[in-house]
Copies of this chain bind each other. A is one copy, B any other.
């Protein structure tokens, strides 16, 4: 297998742009080629999530090759939802590693801001599993429920979580203020954060990455440059959150990280800084744990301690992250690599420079954490002890999964409200606010349901499920149902039955 190196790199300004998608891709591609020793690529690889619906035109691979004046050469588009920018890097990597191409141009981008927000949100929601989508789930709603599940699991109060999330938001906005290509260059204060509206509780507007236009590009080559690609990993997970074992960790990230570390022959401690997928502020915490930078349940404390700040021990998202640099969905995974290369080459504003970087890691999430990538780059100099690399991807870690995935017999069951959110910007056709929650039944099955009534719900409380057509609704259990439940439990324990390990009585 050939070694693969990164040559010229570039991102466009991330912003609400007047240019169309083709022009953004061409701008990034041309500028990357202009800084490269290999300006005549043998193939083009394009990453984009959904140009057809965002722009009304398809055939983006040919369109871009044609517009770049690189007519005739192969051009292929790659897609894995919001990690398409990392996926196209991975595909281009194998094309060079195979020895088939010497130099290839990799471009990724998306054009989104010209659409009404409701339409853009609808298009983005097409990656959500169909039953959860039909129950009213949007990306922020699912992210909010993951955030609440994290709070419940690690016993973090609302005030405590607000402090942590606001710290991430202000940190990333601060970093973005030092990045002239970031969408937002405005620092925000704790007060700004607290004033921003709830999108899906506990997530506010300042917890969510924006809708953005932009593109990134780079040249991958078999010729030795100063930066080598040493690790790539990819993992997938169930589309539906209700079928996952954990709501507080992304298995797909863990698989991808394991592969990338093993391929590079290193561990999390060997990385100097990371660009991670903070589509929502709380994801930055979960990612930092899944990637092995902090132990499970410790990521939020690291944020509080300032470890992930630009001048901390382990900077995360010096670019501003998705939160502040912006999130043109198809572009993001590749823009992270460009930021890493610039940091490694010392080509960013000294105020944003995280110090000397020998190894950088990027992490990109596709969909709601179901198609994730980890990429590791290394400075190609003699001072770095070459790691014990493996030639091949290792097989993924053993996947635990519930065999029982059907919804039979859920109607009328009682269960635990494992996590929920009050969604203030629901999808079209749903009332606002919309309360959505994952209800766990039988200690293993989980279903996404709507609250039958508005009101205050408590994480972990007991609720009853009712079906209406294809949708499930939940309501608080009545006093009588509570009494019945306690009596049943009593009888069971008298009989020596083992309690369900996930029971709220535990």
Contact = CB atoms under 8 A, between A and B. Distances in A.
Interface of A: 1, 42-43, 49-50, 52-53, 56-59, 61-63, 65-66, 71-81, 87, 90-91, 94-95, 97-102, 123, 126-130, 234-239, 251-252, 255, 366-367, 370-371, 391-393, 395-397, 399, 401
B72 A251 contact: yes
Contacts of A252: 72
A375 to B, nearest CB: 13
A252 B397 CA distance: 42
A101 B396 contact: no
Given A237-B71, A393-B42, A126 B56 contact: yes
A392 B74 contact: no
A79 B75 CA distance: 10
Contact of A52 (B52, B73, B74, B371): B52
Contact of A126 (B58, B238, B395, B396): B58
A63 B368 CA distance: 12
Contacts of A95: 91, 94, 98
Contacts of A1: 98-100
B42 A370 contact: no
A94 B100 contact: yes
Nearest to A102: B392
Given A79-B79, A81-B62, A366-B62, A71 B126 contact: no
Nearest to A255: B72
A236 B53 contact: no
Contacts of A42: 393, 395
B393 A59 contact: no
A76 B252 CA distance: 14
Nearest to A238: B66
Contacts of A366: 59, 61-62
A473 to B, nearest CB: 24
How many copies of this kind of chain does the complex include? 2
Of A91, A94, A101, most B-chain CB atoms within 10 Å:
A94
A57 B97 contact: no
Given A50-B52, A76-B90, A237-B72, A58 B393 contact: no
Contacts of A235: 72-74
Given A73-B396, A80-B76, A58 B91 contact: no
14 contacts: A59-B239, A63-B129, A66-B237, A66-B370, A72-B251, A72-B252, A72-B399, A73-B396, A75-B236, A76-B87, A76-B90, A77-B80, A91-B95, A94-B94
Contacts of A43: 234
Given A58-B50, A81-B59, A75 B392 contact: no
Contacts of A76: 78-80, 87, 90-91, 234
A290 B100 CA distance: 24
Contacts of A236: 61-62, 65-66, 71-75
Contacts of A65: 236
A163 to B, nearest CB: 34
Contacts of A62: 80-81, 236-237, 239, 366-367, 370-371
A238 B101 CA distance: 22
A46 to B, nearest CB: 9
Nearest to A395: B42
A181 B301 CA distance: 60
A393 B50 CA distance: 30
A395 B71 CA distance: 12
A245 B272 CA distance: 53
A104 to B, nearest CB: 10
Contacts of A50: 52, 58
Contacts of A128: 59
A1 B222 CA distance: 13
Nearest to A371: B62
A401 B71 contact: yes
A126 B74 contact: no
Nearest to A84: B77
Contacts of A71: 236-238, 399, 401
A388 to B, nearest CB: 18
Contacts of A58: 49-50, 81, 126-127
Contacts of A130: 57
B396 A72 contact: yes
Give the 6 A-B residue pairs with the shortest CB-CB distance, closest first. Answer: A98-B98, A74-B234, A59-B127, A97-B98, A72-B396, A58-B126
